[in-house]
Chain A
Amino acid sequence: MTLKSLDELVQSDRVHRSVYTDERIFDLEMDEMFEKTWVYCGHESQVKEPGDYYTMRIGRQPMVMVRDKSLAIHVLYNRCPHRGVELCGNQSGNTGNAFVCSYHAWSFNLDGKVRAIPLMKGYDGTAFANSDYSSNMVPAEQVDSYRGFVFAKLSKGGPSLLDFLGEAKVAFDDMCDRSPVGEVEVVPVCHRVVQHSNWKFFMENQLDALHPSVTHQSTGVSARKVETRLKATHGSAPLHYHYLSTFASSFDQWDSVQTVNFPHGHGILKAYMGLRPTDPDTVEYESIMKKAYGEEKAEEYLSRSIHHVLIYPYLSVQSPLQQLRCLRPLAANKTLSEIWHFRLKGAPEAIYRRSLWYYNLVNSPATMINADDLENWTKGQWGLESKGGEWVSFHRNHGGDTLKDGVLYSNNGTSEVVMRNQFDAWKSYMQHSFYASK
C-alpha cells in the first residue's frame, strides 16, 4: 500500500470501509502498530512470586510475562527455540524454577536463558554449537512499567513508555492516586469476551457520547424506574442503580460531556461519576485520603472528572472505578477483550465493593450494557463488509473543536473528533512517521 492510497483511505472527515474489513490492512496494523508500539501486558501483581507467569498476545505474537528469582519481570516470546512449541500452555500459573518444553525437555531459566538441553553432545560439531544460533527464549525488545502496569515493545528504539503514554498516563495516576498508599492490586479474575468486529469499533465506541442513550436505552430506563421507586420509598438508592440509569441521559446531557483528545490517539471522556456521596463509607474513605495526602492533594485526586481514559490502540481504563479493558485483535473481524478489576490498597472494603457493582453489572460476561454494544459492532462489521456504501462518516462537528498545546478538546461531547483523532494516530503509525519523528 502506498502513502497516497493511505491518504485516500483515511481522510480528515471520513474513512474507507476497508480499514475495518481488509485482512491485508489488519496484517499491516499488526506489523506497524501492535508489534511495534508499547502494548499492555498486565499488572505486576498478576505475577507476584518467582515463577509466576501470565500469557498474552502482543499483536499476533504469543508472549509470556514472568517474574524471576531476583523479582525482575521479563516478557518473552512463549516459544521454544528448538522446534517452536509454545512453552506455557496455560493462561497463567507458576512454572517453578524453569520453563520446560513439553516436546524435548529443553529448559530455560525464568529470564529466558537456556538452562539445559538433553543429550547436548548431539550438537557437537554441528552448526548449532558453532554459530550464534540462539538457544534462549527471545525477549521483547523493551519492557517497562508505570505505577505497576507492565508494557512491552517488540521493536527497538522509538519513544519511551512515558513518551508514548503522554498525558494519558493519568489513567494510571487516577487509578492509583485513589489509594491512600498510591497502589492498586489486581483482582485475579479475568473476564474474556470475543467481539465479532474490528478492534477499532470498540476504541471508537469508548469515547462516543452520542450512543449511550440510544444503544443503552433499554437498560437505562429500566434502572431509572427501579431507582426512582427506591428513592420514593426509601429516600435514596444505592449508587449502582445510578451507574445504569445514567446511560439513559438525554442527548443534550451527553453533548455537554467533554472529550479530550491527545496525540497518539489517546483520549479522555470526562464526566463526574457521582462517586462522592456523603454516606458513612465515603466519608471514612475521604478522611483516610486526606490523612494520607493532605487536604489539597486529596481533593485533587477525588474530584478528577474522568469517565474513562483510552490508550490507543488497545486499552480502555475506567480509572475512578479501577477497571480496565484490553483488546487483543485476532482478525479484521474478531477481537478478544480482557476485562480486569483492581483493588485500591489501603482503602476501605466498602469502596471496593462499590466499584465491584459496576464490574458485575457493566463489565461481566452477563453485562446489561455491552450486550447491546456488541450487537452494534457485529452488525457494524457486517454493514462495512457490504457494497452498500464505501465510506464511514466522521463529519460531526468537523472543524468545530479547540486545539490547545497539541490537545484537541471537543466543544460538543458528541463531536466525532474522537474518531478523527484516532485515525490521525492510525495514519501516523501506518506511515512510519510516528517513529521517524522521535
Chain B
Amino acid sequence: MSNEVFKENLGQGVVIEAIQSMTGAESIAPDHMGRGSVPSKGYLPTPKVVDHALLVEVQNFLYLQAALLDAKNWSAYIDLFTPDGVYWMPSTPEQTDWTSQPSIFAEDPLIMEIRMSRITHPNAWSQAPMWGTNHLVGNVMIEDSSPNHLEVYSRFQMMELRRDDVRHFGGTYRHSLVRVGGQLKIKLQRVDMVNAQAAYDYVIQAWV
C-alpha cells in the first residue's frame, strides 16, 4: 500500500454510533444473565442518636473486646459473653439462624472454652509458629437502646500474622448487648466477614 492510499483510507472511517443501537451481546442473547446469583446487598444500619456517654461506653466495650483478642487474653474475652451468649460468624450474609445453617463459627461459652483450652495447650501444634493479630474497630452506631438492651453495629479490619505470612480479614460486627449487674455483656455477636466464603489460605484458629 502506498503512503497516499493509506492516508486516504485513514480519512474514510465509519463513526460507530452507540446511541439507540442494540449492543452486540444484546442482539445475540437479549435474555442472558451472566452474573448468576447477584451478591447480597448486605446489611444497612439505622443509627440512633443516643447519649454521648452511652456511645463512649459502648465504643470502649468494643475496643476492649478487640484488644483482648490481640492480647490473647482468651479467658477475659469469653467472660464478656453471657452464659447463654453466642459468638456467630455465618457463612453468608443471608443467613438468619445460627442453629440451622452452616457457620464459620457458632459457639457458646462452653465451646469457646474448648477453643481457648486447645489454643493454650502445650501441644497445640498449630500454635507453635509466631502468630498474632491486630484489630481495628470503627463506624460504631447504636441502632437500638433500652436500659438493659443494646443493638450495636460496627465494622472491623483484622490483620493476622502467622509464620511470615500476613492475611487480611474485614467485615461487620453486630452486637446484641445486655446489662448484667451494671456491666455490658454479649448475648449475641454476629460477625459478617467479607472473606467468609472466599478460599481460606490455612484456617482461622481464634475468634475474629
Contact = CB atoms under 8 A, between A and B. Distances in A.
Q: Please indicate whether A and B come from the same complex rather than being unrelated chains.
A: yes
Contacts of A12: none
Greatest chain A CB density within 10 A among B31, B102, B123, B197 is at B102
B91 A218 contact: no
Interface in B31-46: 31-37
A95 B36 CA distance: 6
A114 to B, nearest CB: 11
Contact of B204 (A115, A365, A376): A365
Contacts of A222: 113-118, 121
Interface string A362-387: 00111110111011101000000000
A193 B203 contact: yes
A353 interface: yes
B200 interface: yes
Interface string B18-39: 0000001101110111111100
Nearest to B89: A366
Contacts of A93: 35-37
A192 B37 contact: no
Main secondary structure of the interface of B (DSSP, over half): loop
Given A92-B36, A193-B203, A341-B102, A118 B28 contact: yes
Given A217-B121, A353-B99, A356-B102, A192 B200 contact: yes
B80 interface: no
B194 interface: no
Given A226-B110, A359-B102, A90 B35 contact: yes
A28 interface: no
Contacts of B99: 353, 356
Contact of A90 (B29, B36, B128, B198): B36
Contact of A98 (B32, B89, B199, B203): B32
B73 interface: no
B54 interface: no
Contacts of B205: 366, 371
A105 B126 contact: no
**Taking chain A's interface residues, is the majority helix, strand, or loop, or is none over half, making it mixed?**
mixed
A327 interface: no
A105 B24 contact: yes
A366 B36 contact: no
A423 interface: no
B8 interface: no
B201 A194 contact: yes
A81 interface: no
A301 B153 CA distance: 48
A116 B28 contact: yes
B105 interface: yes
Given A189-B102, A222-B114, 10 more contacts: A89-B34, A93-B36, A191-B91, A192-B198, A215-B125, A221-B121, A353-B100, A364-B103, A374-B202, A375-B125
12 contacts: A92-B37, A93-B36, A100-B32, A105-B24, A118-B28, A189-B91, A191-B200, A192-B198, A218-B117, A221-B117, A226-B114, A366-B205
